[in-house]
Structure 1
Amino acid sequence: MKTSLLEGPSAALAHLGIEMTGWDHGVARFEATVAPFHLNRSEIPHGGIYATMLDTTMGYAGAYTGDPDQRRMTLTLSLNISYLSRPKGTRLIAVGRRIGGGAKTFFTDGRLTDETGELIATAQGTFRVRS
C-alpha cells in the first residue's frame, strides 16, 4: 500500500487516536494504539471503536483517486459488523477493501486485527460516492 498520499485524521479520528497508515486503489489501512479511553466496563476496547475504524477504512477503500487535488468523499449506506474476539496485543489494525460496485455505489469488506494477528472483527459495507 502507498503512503505518499496519506491524509491527516479528521477531528473525530484524531480525538480517538486513529491514523491512516496505508492507502491505495481499492484498499485502505487505519491503526490505533489501545488507550484507556477506548475501554469499556470489561476493560477491553468498546465495540464502537472497532466500528469506527472499520467504517472509516472501508469508506476510504473506495475513495482513492491517486491525486491529492481530486478528493473523493463517501457516505456509508449500510454497515454490518461481526465481533469475533478481543485484542491480545495493544495495536488495532483495520484494513478495508473495495470488492465491487460502480461509479456511485460500491461494496467493501473489512478486517480488524491486532499486531499479533488476532482477528477481532469483520465487516461488510455499502457506500455511496458523494457528489
Structure 2
Amino acid sequence: MPDNTPASQPYALENPFLESLDVVIEEWQPDLVRMSLVPQAAHVNNTGVVQGGILATLLDAAGGYAGLFPENGVRRAATTISLNVNYVSSAHVEPLQVVGRRVGGGRRVFFSNAEITDNQGRLIATAQAAFRRKDPVSAS
C-alpha cells in the first residue's frame, strides 16, 4: 500500500474512510492516540452542527488506535465489539481534538475511553469501547 501520509502527519492512518474525512493523527504511542479533525460543511446536519455519526466515528477510531500502536514495526487492526457514545455538547465547524486511551484488556480484547473537545477545551462527546484485535496480515 502506498504511503500517502502528508509530511505534517507522522503516522499513516491506513484507513480510507478516516482519510476521506481528513482526520490527522497528531500523536501516537502505546495506549494513547491524539487525533484532530477540522469539520467541513459536508459534516454538518440541518441544524448546522457536526453530525453525531462523524463524532461517533472519531471516538471509535481514537479508541481503536489507542490499543493498536505498532509493535516491532507490525501494524494490527481491530474490530469494534462495543461502543457507548455520550453526546455532551454540540460541535460546530471548528477544529476538534479527540484523545483515545487504552484502559485495559488482554492480548485479544482491549478496552478504551475517548473524548472529543473543541478549541476552547469544551467537552463535546465521550465514549467507552471494547475492541477485538485481528491477527496481523502477512505481506506475502
**What is the TM-score with the length of structure 1 in the denominator?**
0.90
> Residue 15 of structure 1 is aligned with which of 17, 20, 32?
20
Aligned AA (2:94): T
Label 1:8 to 1:127 Cα distance change in 2 as closer, same or farther (>3 A).
closer
- The reply to whether residue 49 of structure 1 matches residue 51 of structure 2 is no
Aligned AA (2:113): D
> Residue 108 of structure 2 is aligned with which of 85, 104, 107?
104
**Superposition pairs of residues 1-80 of structure 1, within 5 angstroms:** 6-8=11-13, 10-67=15-72, 69-80=73-84
Instruction: Compare 89-98 and 112-121 and name the one that shifted more.
Output: 89-98
Aligned AA (1:55): D
Q: Which runs of 5+ in 2 are unaligned?
A: 1-7, 136-140
How many percent of aligned residue pairs carry the same amino acid? 36
Q: Shift of residue 10 of structure 1?
A: 2.0
Whether the 8 Å contact between 1:107 and 1:127 is mirrored in structure 2 is yes
Aligned residue in 2 for 1:122: 126
Q: Shift of residue 65 of structure 1?
A: 2.7
Label 1:37 to 1:125 Cα distance change in 2 as closer, same or farther (>3 A).
same
Query: Which structure: greater strand fraction?
Result: 1
CA RMSD for the aligned pairs?
Answer: 1.8
**What is the TM-score with the length of structure 2 in the denominator?**
0.84
In structure 2, how many angstroms separate the alpha carbons of the residues matched to 1:106 and 1:127? Answer: 5
Moved over 4 A (4+): none
Aligned residue in 1 for 2:138: none
Q: Shift of residue 8 of structure 1?
A: 3.7
In structure 2, how many angstroms separate the alpha carbons of the residues matched to 1:70 and 1:129? Answer: 13
Aligned AA (1:46): Q
Aligned residue in 1 for 2:87: 83
Question: Max radius of gyration: which structure?
Answer: 2
After superposition, give the CA deviation of every residue in 1:41-93 in whole Å (9 maximum; x if it has no partner). Answer: 110000001000010011000001354x3111111000000000023671011
Whether the 8 Å contact between 1:88 and 1:116 is mirrored in structure 2 is no
